[in-house]
Amino acid sequence: MIVGNVRKVLFWIPSILVAVAVVGAWQFFDRISTRELLEETRRSVHLQLSTLRAQLERNVYVNASRVDGLVVAIGLEPELSLDRFNALAAPLIDEYPQLRNIGAAPDLVVRYMYPLEGNEAIVGVDYREIPAQADAALQARQEGELILAGPVDLLQGGQGLIGRIPVFLDQGADGFWGLISVVIDMEEFYRASGLLDENMPLRIAIRGKDARGADGELFYGAPEVFDSDPVLADVSLPYGSWQMAGVPMKGWPVRVEHAGSVRAGFAIVGLLLVLLVAFASRLLVLRGEYLQQLKHSLEGQRLATSEAQAATRAKSEFLANMSHEIRTPMNGVIGMTGLLLETELDQTQRHYAETVRSSGIALLSLINDILDFSKIESGKLELETLDFDLRAMLDSFASIMAVKAEEKGLEFICAADPDVPDRLSGDPGRIRQILINLAGNAVKFTERGEVVVRVQRAAKGASGAEQTSASGSRALALQFTIKDTGIGIPADRVNNLFESFSQVDASITRRFGGTGLGLAISRQLAEMMGGEVGVESVEGHGSTFWFRIAVQPGDETEPRAADAAILRDIRALVVDDNATNREILCTLFRGWGMRPEEAIDGPSALSRLYTAQAEGDSFRLAVLDMQMPGMDGETLGRVIHSDPKLQPLRTVMLTSLGLDGNAAELRRAGFSASLTKPVLHGELYRCLTTVLADDGSSYRNTMMKQRAGDATKPRADFSRCKARVLLAEDNHTNQQVALAMLAKLGLSADAVANGVEAVLAMRTIPYDLVLMDVQMPEMDGLAATRRIREDEHRRAGSRDHYAATAGGPVAGTRTPIIALTAHALQGYREQCLDAGMDDYLSKPLEPSSLAKMLEKWLPDPAGDTIPLDETGESHRETVDPMVFNSSEFMERIGGDQELAAEILQGFAEQNGTRIEELARLIAEDNTNGVGRCAHALKGTALAVSAEAFTKVCTQLEHAAGDGDAAACRVLEIRVRREFQRLCETLEGFRRNPV
């Protein structure tokens, strides 16, 4: 019984709630309807008021303009007669009933009036003597335009609006003739404007007497209109305004019409709803049962989804493990084929070996992509946070991509907008990976034209445009855009482009290769960095890929004030037939405070130069492209420098990669400098500041001398070392960049992805140097270094025993290991050295620092190193230092062969003892003693003209002076090797002194 009553109560509760809801809805609807009616009424009033305002403004301007002809006539006849004035004014009064009278006051004294009847008293009045008139008259003269006064009560009856128009002549002291006054009849004015219409639905009031706007007095309508929440409109006058207010004639509505019918409708609807809810209540039990079944079904789906995700993770882990398992023997194959290529092979054998190595490298790259993809899917990929220089990274990236673009004859352009900061904090390796993927595709799929990479601040409101980091600092959103003129993408394939293993079609894969993983990895990396990727493309007309990421601003380093001052306000001309190049260079120049202009070819450039010279604002700088249709850059430069009128114009030549021309010819043509495209941001900035400093002559001489010597003075080149380098780096993009840098330096390197693979590679192949990333999965660089040193110790029998062999790290040798890490703390560097590493490089890698490190640790075939200056340039002599300069030595001792034999024998015996002493001092880490011993060895080597031995002893002396024990240990091997080679040479000379 109780349960039944409860069910009855519960049964009616929904119906009661619905009834209450219907009543509430009616109240809400009533309020909303009333508010909407009020708003609609206000809109209607506003529309009508706008019409009236337009009529008022029109009538004011029309009536004032009636006397324009009279103003012109007075300008032509300043001394016109009264009859002439009346003849001109009479038609205006007769034809336009709104005009009451027209007067003229030369020099502010009223002398003309039409009609004169009723206005006799004003003739002869001086406006300056009547305070009420003086201000308005003087204001009209001062402002030089129509000034309205009133409305005022007229002596003839009614009200009038007085307009005063100043008349100026071209003659006289200041050209002021006087005033023309026009009196507008306000009743006629109101009637013409529609204010007196019998069907006027509004109550109108106007204030702003004397054109004072809301601050002026009321002159039309009832004042209570302004107190009735009116709609307001400003009537614009030639000088000032009126404020007009309007309300409905019957006042503002308070209730919607037919409210009773609406109530009845709500009642009917409410009753129907109550009945429907009552019926629906009968179905509650069935619905509950259905929901219970649905709950069980959803739980099953959740379990299935969880199992699918677990299967995906297992697949990703399997791919990662298989990638490692495949990569380990693949590294051995690549390394061994590298060794095989260094042996004596015939042409067919070399072709086979090179094919195996290139195929292995391609397979390894594919495995690395799969590993990256599996890491992302399994959530194991972690981003680094490093401070880096964006433009330096872009310059390094552009240098790599430009080579590939040049091979296809493409123009490659890469630049960041001036408002993008230099110093950022993020993961430069992953940013570079996305850039290489997208730009690499752009180059691959473009047969002609250009590939343009630009970095800009992302637009506000874009995804990732503004974010706040965990530390609370505001992130900076950057957009990277890669635009090409390639084959484009069909519209129906764009949406699937970023899916895994997706390409446009099978023919693309057959023609260009690739797996379709690069874009998928790029999309996921961009999303991990708080951004997104996208593409816009038209088939056959190229594509524009872009990605946005969020990074933290770094510590910005301001440019040197002197450099900035040199560039500021410099007028520069950019001459290039490529519009994108011109735009980017001009954008950079404007960011440096310069005033750039552009020309598309030589003739237009010359036209601009001569025009600027004639205007007295000559160009100070011209940047010319070498390859242009018609007149090329070199010809244009010769024409410019042959004309004294265009001096002292500085010119800089831009040449394509591989077409940098003859520096001597450019110098003779008058060029200050030449740069290779793509132009790097830092290189361009340094070039321009140096060219424009002082008179530019010192830079011209220095730069052109350097350029002229480029043909004979190679860049840092270690190809003759025949050194084998191992790179241990888990980031695939960092691997690519480092391998490209090493290749430019003439070195072939093998890459592994973790410490385990590095240890296995060192046990298999005798490498001469290892570049070891510190933070790697499975086994980090510190642990791997310790394991490698243990292996060397086990082979050598003693940790500090070093043998002088030329074959690399076989028994008795210690392979230099260079740490690669982003940690810049001194304590962290000490951890690397304590683990057995020999030196330290900060990430991201810079080509100059890498070259200096290799120069320090890699042996030269002659036992010498490759000296570098501070820019990373090589200064190797064209002829290697001689082991023994016999002619110089014999000349020094007068050609006495017996004396020569005695000296050389004593040299070998004495220095053999010093070599053993040197080994003991190095084992004790006694760098002071090592320095003294090296100095003594150097002195005796100079005495016998042993140039190569002298150089390596000098390097050992310097390393000891710096207290670098690790470098001393490696150099001691080279000292032994060079001494042995020298002794063998001296022995041969003693046997055959000719």
Q: Do 771 and 747 touch, CB atoms closer than 8 A?
A: no
Please report the DSSP string for 737-755 in residue order.
HHHHHHHHTT-EEEEESSH
Beta strand 202-207 pairing with 240-248: antiparallel
Q: Nearest CA to 434 among 376, 495, 494?
A: 376
Q: Nearest CA to 51 among 202, 274, 237, 214?
A: 202
Q: Which residues of 388-411 are buried (b: 16+ CB within 10 A; e: fewer)?
A: bbbbbbbbbbbbbbbeebbeeebb
**Average pLDDT score over residue span 32-61:** 86
Beta strand 202-207 pairing with 218-220: antiparallel
Give pLDDT tens digits for 15-43. Answer: 677 777 777 776 777 778 778 878 888 88
CATH of domain 719-857: 3.40.50.2300
On the question of a common fold for 561-705 and 719-857, the answer reads yes
CA distance 55 to 49: 10
Q: Nearest CA to 569 among 552, 586, 593?
A: 593
Q: Nearest CA to 860 among 768, 965, 792?
A: 768
Label residue 532 by pLDDT band (50, 70, 90): very high
Q: Class of 285-377 per CATH? A: mainly alpha
Specify the higher pLDDT residue, 34 or 595.
595
Protein fold of 886-991: Four Helix Bundle (Hemerythrin (Met), subunit A) (1.20.120)
pLDDT mean across residues, the chain? 79
CA distance 126 to 132: 12
Q: Is the pLDDT of residue 242 over 50?
A: yes
Taking residue 277's Cβ as centre, other Cβ atoms within 10 Å add up to 19
Give pLDDT tens digits for 940-957. Answer: 888 888 888 888 888 888
CA distance 180 to 80: 14
Q: Nearest CA to 777 among 465, 447, 381, 416?
A: 381
Most trustworthy range by pLDDT among 41-50, 283-292, 983-992: 41-50
Q: Is the pLDDT of residue 752 over 50?
A: yes
Q: Do 192 and 59 touch, CB atoms closer than 8 A?
A: yes
Label residue 668 by pLDDT band (50, 70, 90): confident
Give pLDDT tens digits for 339-384. Answer: 677 677 888 887 778 778 777 777 777 777 777 777 777 677 778 7
Burial class of residue 546, CB neighbours in 10 A (0-12, 13-18, 19+): buried
Through-space distance between the first and last CA atoms of the chain, rounded to whole angstroms? 134
CATH of domain 386-553: 3.30.565.10
Q: Which two three-digit tokens encode residue 173? A: 């002291």
**Average pLDDT score over residue span 950-975:** 84
Specify the higher pLDDT residue, 825 or 662.
662
**Is-above-0.85 flag for pTM?**
no
Specify the higher pLDDT residue, 533 or 294.
533
Q: Do 885 and 947 touch, CB atoms closer than 8 A?
A: yes
Q: Is the pLDDT of residue 182 over 70?
A: yes
Q: Is the pLDDT of residue 710 over 50?
A: no
Q: Is the pLDDT of residue 874 over 50?
A: no
Label residue 531 by pLDDT band (50, 70, 90): very high
CA distance 770 to 843: 16
Q: Which two three-digit tokens encode residue 908? A: 């070998």
CA distance 455 to 438: 14
Place of tokens 């999303």: 527
Q: What is the residue type of 60? A: V
CA distance 981 to 261: 117
pLDDT at 971 (0 to 100):
84
Name the H helices within 726-825. Answer: 732-744, 755-764, 781-796
Distance from the Cα of residue 808 to its chain's centroid: 45
pLDDT at 268 (0 to 100):
78
SS3 state at 24 = helix
CATH of domain 70-248: 3.30.450.350
Most trustworthy range by pLDDT among 133-137, 138-142, 462-466: 138-142
CA distances from 532 to 460, 527, 528, 549, 950 (A): 15, 5, 9, 7, 59
Give pLDDT tens digits for 603-657. Answer: 999 999 999 999 989 999 999 998 888 898 999 999 999 988 888 899 999 987 6
CA distance 972 to 789: 18
Compute the chain's Rg from CA coordinates. 45
Specify the higher pLDDT residue, 33 or 477.
477
Specify the higher pLDDT residue, 752 or 174.
752
CA distance 110 to 730: 97
**Domain ranges within the chain, ordered by starting residue:** 70-248, 285-377, 386-553, 561-705, 719-857, 886-991
**Average pLDDT score over residue span 716-744:** 81
Between CA 584 and CA 682, with CA 408 as vertex, the angle to 5 degrees is 35
Label residue 714 by pLDDT band (50, 70, 90): very low
Q: Nearest CA to 667 among 631, 632, 709, 629?
A: 709
Q: Nearest CA to 178 among 57, 95, 240, 85?
A: 85
Taking residue 206's Cβ as centre, other Cβ atoms within 10 Å add up to 25
Identify the weakest region by mean pLDDT among 214-228, 261-275, 399-413, 969-983: 261-275
**Average pLDDT score over residue span 719-732:** 83
Q: Is the pLDDT of residue 786 over 90?
A: yes
The residues pairing with 749 across neighbouring beta strands, listed in sequence order, are: 725
pLDDT at 703 (0 to 100):
44
Label residue 808 by pLDDT band (50, 70, 90): very low
Q: Is the pLDDT of residue 173 over 90?
A: no
Q: Which residues of 801-827 are buried (b: 16+ CB within 10 A; e: fewer)?
A: bbebeeebbeebbbbbbbbbbbbeeee
Specify the higher pLDDT residue, 953 or 877.
953
Give pLDDT tens digits for 544-556. Answer: 999 999 999 877 6
Q: Is the pLDDT of residue 803 over 80?
A: no
Superfamily of domain 561-705: Response regulator (3.40.50.2300)
User: Which run of H or E residues covers position 501?
Assistant: none
CA distance 616 to 85: 54
CA distance 948 to 880: 8
Give pLDDT tens digits for 269-292. Answer: 777 777 777 777 667 756 777 788
Distance from the Cα of residue 813 to its chain's centroid: 48
